[in-house]
């Protein structure tokens, strides 16, 4: 939540999301897949509103006190995002789970499941992820 934008000072005052970064807690969490489910729900909310994050990694997710996931670091984000931009978000997240969180078995799959349950256009976005991967392979 943005509280204030001061054009003169060039400052933005915004809500501090209290809690650890998902990156730091997910591997040693009691139930990592529960966090993954919550990540899927949170990304679905963002994407359903046509917002792409632009740097969708677990370093930019805060595990809030109530267990929900909050996003920070929207500097690469955009509104009115198309399927391609949303696909790039999901592709980055998949890569994060195959590298930084490779010990979380089925982590990305769990995210995709809850994402699909909560995002009407999930299929189009996930199909696009496959296209993006194909492209990456040949460039």
Ligand X SMILES: Nc1ncnc2c1ncn2[C@@H]1O[C@H](COP(=O)(O)OP(=O)(O)O)[C@@H](O)[C@H]1O
What is the binding site for ligand X (CB under 6 A)? Answer: 16-17, 59-60, 62, 72-73
Residue 105 contacts residue 67 (beta carbons within 8 Å): no
Q: Is 55 a catalytic residue?
A: yes
Look at the block and give the residue holding tokens 């496959």: 130
The nearest distance, CB 121 to Mg ion, in angstroms, is: 26
The nearest distance, CB 7 to ligand X, in angstroms, is: 17
114 sits near Mg ion (criterion: CB under 5 A): no
Tell me the DSSP string of 38-106. Answer: HHHHHHHHHHHTT-B-SS-SGGGEEE-TTS-EEE---TT-BSS--HHHHHHHHHHHHHHHHHTTTTSTT
The catalytically annotated residue of 55, 82, 89, 127 is 55
The nearest distance, CB 117 to Mg ion, in angstroms, is: 27
Residue 9 contacts residue 18 (beta carbons within 8 Å): no
Residue closer to Mg ion, measured from CB, 91 or 128: 91
73 sits near Mg ion (criterion: CB under 5 A): yes
The one segment of 13-21, 46-54, 73-81, 98-106 that binds Mg ion by CB under 5 A: 73-81
Binder among 38, 52, 60, 87 for Mg ion (CB under 5 A): 60
16 binds, among Mg ion, ligand X, none (CB under 5 to 8 A by kind): ligand X
β-bridge partners, 69: 63
Residue 39 contacts residue 33 (beta carbons within 8 Å): no
The nearest distance, CB 96 to Mg ion, in angstroms, is: 12
Question: What residues are labeled active site?
Answer: 55
Residues engaged in binding Mg ion (CB under 5 A): 60, 73
């Amino acid at each position: 939540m943005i509280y204030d934008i001061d054009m003169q000072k060039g400052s933005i005052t915004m809500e501090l999301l209290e809690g650890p970064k998902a990156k730091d807690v997910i591997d040693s969490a009691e139930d990592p897949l529960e966090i993954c489910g919550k990540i899927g729900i949170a990304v679905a909310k963002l994407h359903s509103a046509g917002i792409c994050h632009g740097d969708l990694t677990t370093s930019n997710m805060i595990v809030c006190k109530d267990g929900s996931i909050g996003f920070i670091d929207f500097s690469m984000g955009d509104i009115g995002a198309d399927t391609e931009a949303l696909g790039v978000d999901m592709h980055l997240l998949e890569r994060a789970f195959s590298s930084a969180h490779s010990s979380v078995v089925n982590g990305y799959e769990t995210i995709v499941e809850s994402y699909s349950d909560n995002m009407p256009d999930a299929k189009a976005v996930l199909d696009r992820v496959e296209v993006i991967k194909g492209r990456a392979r040949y460039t």
